Amino acid sequence: MSSNPKEHTEYKSYLEEDGGRKGIYKWILSTDHKRIGLLYLYSMMGWFIIGVVLGLLMKLELIAPGQTLMGAQTYNATFTVHGVIMIFLIVIPGLPAVFGNFMLPIQIGAKDVFFPRLNLFSWYIYVLGGILVIISLFGNGAPDTGWTFYAPYSFKTGTNMLPAALGAFVLGFSSILTGLNFIVTIHRMRAPGMTWFKMPLFPWTLYGTGWIQLLATPVVGITLLMVAGERILGIGFFDPAKGGDPLLYQHLFWIYSHPAVYIMILPAMGAISEIIPTFAKKTIFGYRAIVFSTLAIAFVGYFVWGHHMYTSGMSGAALWAFSLLTFLVAIPSAIKVFNWISTMHQGSITTEVPFLWAASFIFIFMIGGLTGLVLGSLATDVHVHDTAFVVAHFHFIVFGGVGFAFFGAIHYWFPKMFGRKYDKNWAKTGWITFFVGFVSLYGPMFYLGIKGMPRRYFDYLPEFHGPNIISTLGALVMITGFVIILVNLINSARNGEKTTEKNPWGGTNLEWQVATPPPLENFDEIPTIEKATYKYD
């Protein structure tokens, strides 16, 4: 057990450590995992605002049939860039980049991640990827292919596919390196006595996620390179005229992009698994079941990609195989939901802000998951594929899932991260506004999809008008809620009541035993773990 003599001097929060640097260099040259987590938080906030604006523009276009704000070409570019930003710059980095970076080392009793400089480098290339996406907006115009970049259109379109593809490639690298870093960190840097099954659940999800980042991302990397090869050399991999198969593009693309959704949701579930026990004052129900479910989701989720392609022309054998596997992967997710609810049962619940987000997460996630079964089943999918139903499903499960968990996590760990309190009343107001807006925005889309409204169209038949109005109004309400939340948090981070309380919520893990905010190396002395940190006595 190492003991750094220098730590026995005055406590200094990590925010006060500047490594001898001034201004912005304190941040962009720091290899402190906590600062890097915040760098991601601030970058992602910026991107999120842009992504939301793009989404709002789409909803405003859809408030009435016919052209409202923009024509088809602009609309196509808008939903493409909206998707690229939200997927590659927000939800995939998501909780790992922010809370994984900030909390993982602390939760396992380490002073940083295994490769701190690689960690900072991951953020640098995150920024580079974002710049490439921005570059794609100029010149010939933003790509209009959808974030899925399907061939052959992706190599025929005159728009800026190459910068966008390169941007996605670079962002993929950032994701891979983060996953690699976390896996090595978890293997090698757990505190003495912290066996695998004494580790909290959030790190477990980061571990499973890390493997997906490692093993799935390279496939989309090579696929994007192949598209570049098509555009630059006319190489023919996906060009039917040259013997290529556009469907192969879809296979390769979804071999990554389906596991990608588990990159998104597993850490979100991990955060929920942290929050609920704290506010139920009860040890999580079925810790091992949740661990194995996490690994099962990561593993089985790797083999279900074909469910995005039911109507593309795959063979019958592929259809049933993928549908079967898709149903299988739903099982461990359901197990987690049962365990969360069982944790709450006969617990001593306090409806603090993080708990509100966690409870509503379960509700939203379930709707997303159940509608996923509609899509996973061949006969029903044929009816709703490429309709608004799909859009509703993935917004419920990704935005609802990752988003709600993210908001829950930020409200949970905020005092620890910033040493400040936020206004709980504003936070609750923001939550309920957001929640109501969210359901109003995406709920009607299920109905619209079943009724036949296609996705990715800037226009629709008059009979779809009513629900679309509700949806667009819902967007405005949701955005209002988001603004309330954001302003409250930003304001509180800068001017909120200071706090040095180590454990405001009564949580059990190691992060609640270090100072608030944590010192640079988290611990004065690396602890020795005797009992499982996630347990309530």
Partner 1 sequence: MSDSNHHIVSYRTYGLVLVLLLILTGISVAVTQIELSRWATLAALLLATTKSAFVLAIFMHLRFDQRIYRVMAVFVTLVIIAVIVLTFFDYGFR
Partner 2 sequence: MSETLAHHDEHRDDEGSKLGIWLFIFTELLFFGGLFVTYAVYRHANSQAFHLAGEQLDVTIGTINTIILLISSMTIAMSITAMQKKDKRATLILIGITLVLALVFLVNKYFEWSAKIEHGIWPGSPLLEELGRGDTLFFGLYYFMTGLHALHIIIGMVLIVVIYVRVQKDKITHDNYQLLENGGLYWHLVDLIWIFLFPLFYLIA
Nearest to 485 by CA among 414, 434, 420, 421: 434
Q: Is 7 in the site for partner 2 (CB under 8 A)?
A: no
Q: Which of 183, 130, 187, 139 is nearest to 161 (CA)?
A: 139
Indicate which of partner 2, partner 1, none lies near residue 244 (CB less than 5 to 8 Å, by partner kind): partner 2
| CA angle (217, 293, 201) in 5-degree steps | 85
Q: Does 314 bind partner 2 (CB under 8 A)?
A: no
308 part of the interface to partner 2, by CB under 8 A: no
- Binding site partner of 242, from partner 1, partner 2, none, Cβ cut-off 5-8 A by kind: partner 2
**Cα separation, 532 vs 519, whole angstroms:** 24
- Alpha carbon separation from 294 to 109, 252, 276, 333, 380 (Å, rounded): 22, 24, 17, 8, 28
DSSP secondary structure of 280-341:
HTSPPTTHHHHHHHHHHHHHHGGG-GGGG-TTTT--HHHHHHHHHHHHHHHHHHHHHHHHHH
Q: Which residue lies nearer to partner 2 by CB, 237 or 464? A: 237
Residue 316: contacted member of partner 2, partner 1, none (CB under 5 to 8 Å, by partner type) = partner 1
Using CB under 8 A as the binding criterion, the count of chain residues that bind partner 2 stands at: 36
How many residues line the site for partner 1 (CB under 8 A)? 15
Q: Among residue numbers 196 through 225, which ones bind partner 1 (CB under 8 A)?
A: 215
**In Å, how far are 36, 123, 345, 521 from 116, measured between CA atoms?**
9, 11, 41, 12
> For residues 336 and 290, is the Cβ–Cβ distance under 8 A?
yes
Q: Copy the structure tokens of residue 138.
A: 């100029």
* Minimum CB–partner distance for residue 485 and partner 2 (Å): 36
The nearer residue to partner 1, 233 or 317, going by C-beta atoms, is 317
Match 């909780």 to its residue by tokens.
Answer: 95
Least distance (Å) between residue 236 CB and partner 2: 5
**199 lines the binding site for partner 2 (CB under 8 A):** no
| 183 near partner 2, rule: CB under 8 A | yes
Task: Pick from 251, 307, 308, 395 the residue near partner 1 by CB under 8 A.
Answer: 251
Tell whether residue 2 is a contact of partner 1 (CB under 8 A): no
Q: Map residues 237-276 to x or -, x wherever contact with partner 2 holds by CB under 8 A.
A: x----xxxx--x--xx--x---------------------
Of 290, 309, 414, residue with least CA distance to 352: 414
241 versus 317: smaller Cβ distance to partner 1: 317
Among 93, 94, 270, 306, binds partner 1 (CB under 8 A): 306
CB of 515 to partner 2, least distance (A): 23
Strand partners, 498: 420
Binding of residue 153 to partner 2 (CB under 8 A): no
Task: For partner 1, give the closer residue by CB, 57 or 206.
Answer: 206
- Considering only CA atoms, which of 88, 60, 96, 64 is closest in space to residue 75? 60
Find the part of the chain contacting partner 2 (CB under 8 A) among 20-28, 49-57, 214-222, 287-295.
Answer: 214-222
Q: Does residue number 304 form part of the binding site for partner 2 (CB under 8 A)?
A: no
* Axis-axis angle for helices 316-344, 246-280 (nearest 10): 10
247 binding partner 1? (CB under 8 A): yes
Tokens of residue 302, six digits: 């790797």
Question: Which one of the spans 142-150, 261-269, 300-308, 412-420 is the region binding partner 1 (CB under 8 A)?
Answer: 300-308
Alpha-carbon Rg for the chain, nearest whole angstrom, is 23
CA distance 257 to 358: 26
In sequence order, what DSSP letters do the residues of 60-115 get, joined into one string? HHTTSSS-SS--HHHHHHHHHHHHHIIIIIIITTHHIIIIIHHHHHHHTT-SS-S-
Candidates 28, 60, 128, 235: give the one binding partner 2 (CB under 8 A).
235
- Per-residue interface string for the shown chain with partner 2, residues 104-143, x marking contact by CB under 8 A: ----------xx----------------------------
Candidates 125-133, 233-241, 418-426, 438-446 — which segment interacts with partner 2 by CB under 8 A?
Answer: 233-241
Query: What count of Cα atoms within 13 Å lies in the side-chain half-sphere of residue 86?
Result: 22
* Tokens found for residue 255: 């071999």
423 is a site residue for partner 2 (CB under 8 A): no
Binding mask of the shown chain, residues 180 to 199, with x at each position contacting partner 1 by CB under 8 A: -------x------------
314 binds partner 1 (CB under 8 A): yes
The residues binding partner 1 (CB under 8 A) are 187, 215, 247, 251, 255, 302-303, 306, 314-318, 321-322
Binding site for partner 2 (CB under 8 A): 2, 114-115, 176, 180, 183-184, 187-189, 192, 214-219, 221-223, 225-226, 229, 233-237, 242-245, 248, 251-252, 255
